[in-house]
Amino acid sequence: MPRKHSKRLVRTFEAIEPPPNVEVMLGVVSVTLLMELLGALSESPVWLLGLLVFLPGAASALCSTRQTLFVSAWTTIVVAVTVLVRHGDGRSWLDRLLMMLLTLALGMTAVYACDRRIRRETEMLRLRSTAAAMQRHILRPLPLLTDDVLVDGVYEPVQEDRLIGGDIYDVVVSPWGTRVLIGDVQGKGLPAVGAAFAVIGAFREAAHREPTLTALVDALDASVVRHNSYAVQTGDDERFVTALIVNIDAQNEVQVINCGHIAPQLLHDDTVITPELKSGVPLGLAELAAEPTTVDWFTFPPGSTLMLTTDGLTETRDADGTFYPVTERLTRRDSFSARNLPQALYDDARAFAGESSQHDDVAILSVRRSPYR
């Protein structure tokens, strides 16, 4: 029986915290005193425009609705008193009235904008928490120890503009060995989730039923075709899925079928080898293939590690557009943490790209053969 270890898939989403009331009070009073001082020195109410624009606008972006309401009311009162008392003589009552009405309107707009922002952030927080729960229940927690291998990995699908990515993986202990799936659904975000779930569900069911890897891939392809037929009925786009399916048993050779996915890399001693595999068509496009699905074999000796990735890693680029050198980094993996190679590789890729670069969804799996086999 496999043994589950600590779960690292679930992200922690922190609640939105407005600044403390004391900080808001100090900030409001400081800005008010500054504007009043500048207004007194210049003997002009023009500086009040900075007060009535800056304070409510900043509060709507940073504070809670109640704090923004306080700031807007404070601003309205200060502007009204200043206009009536300090700059009332010799000025048209219409100008003074317009100034106060403008202040009131901007304050009300700031409160409305703050309320909309908080509602949207709360909804996004709820959706991201739901996405994390879905990932926890649908994607298998790693690391996972089987009779054949230790599978570890990192999965980073949640970004600022999407909830769930198109990268998928799964591990199943079958009567014919440990079967590992890694794939990438065409497209991103929620529209790709249906195809991802279809493939994962089919893999978990067929991996226990089908004795051959080719029959397993046929079942996965059929699941994507069925999903696409439902998608067409609902007006969604058809999708395909690149995938790599691996079967590992007690033998020193591993079986692999590549469905248009990135080839694995074998780490053994100080070498990094990319096995030569026949690249078939992605799942969902089997009808377009000129040849039937075939299985590749290559040696997977004891103590070696098989690295499986998605294009989120290989297509990572720095500010100059240079692609992340995966093979070179793996060759010098002595600088990485041996305890969790996928996480170390992911962190290194993020550091290589820099904070200003765009990051795609990424899944990285390490499949380590027991050294005692």
The reported pLDDT for the residue numbered 357 is 54
Give 227's contacts (C-beta < 8 A, 6+ positions apart).
194, 195, 198, 239, 284
Beta strands in the chain (DSSP E): 3-4, 144-145, 149-156, 167-174, 177-185, 241-248, 253-259, 265-268, 271-273, 296-299, 305-309, 362-369
Sheet holding 167-174, edge to edge: 167-174, 177-185, 241-248, 253-259, 296-299
**Least confident piece of the model among 88-97, 164-173, 281-290:** 88-97
End-to-end, the C-alpha distance of the chain in Å comes to: 18
Residue type, 189: G
Q: Is 244 exposed, middle or buried (0-12, 13-18, 19+ CB in 10 A)?
A: buried
**Confidence band (pLDDT; 50, 70, 90) for 243?**
very high
- pLDDT tens for 96-124 read 788 788 888 888 999 999 999 888 888 87
Sheet holding 149-156, edge to edge: 3-4, 144-145, 149-156, 362-369, 305-309, 265-268, 271-273
**Confidence band (pLDDT; 50, 70, 90) for 165?**
low
Mean of the per-residue pLDDT values for the chain?
81
The reported pLDDT for the residue numbered 6 is 40
- pLDDT tens for 15-74 read 567 888 888 888 888 877 877 777 677 666 565 666 666 788 888 888 888 988 998 888
The reported pLDDT for the residue numbered 49 is 61
* 360 closest CA partner among 133, 193, 167, 135: 167
- For helices 21-42 and 65-81, the axis angle rounded to 10 degrees is 20
**Confidence band (pLDDT; 50, 70, 90) for 312?**
confident
Give 355's contacts (C-beta < 8 A, 6+ positions apart).
none
**Confidence band (pLDDT; 50, 70, 90) for 160?**
very low
Reported pTM = 0.68
The reported pLDDT for the residue numbered 205 is 94
Residue range 340-365: mean pLDDT, rounded = 80
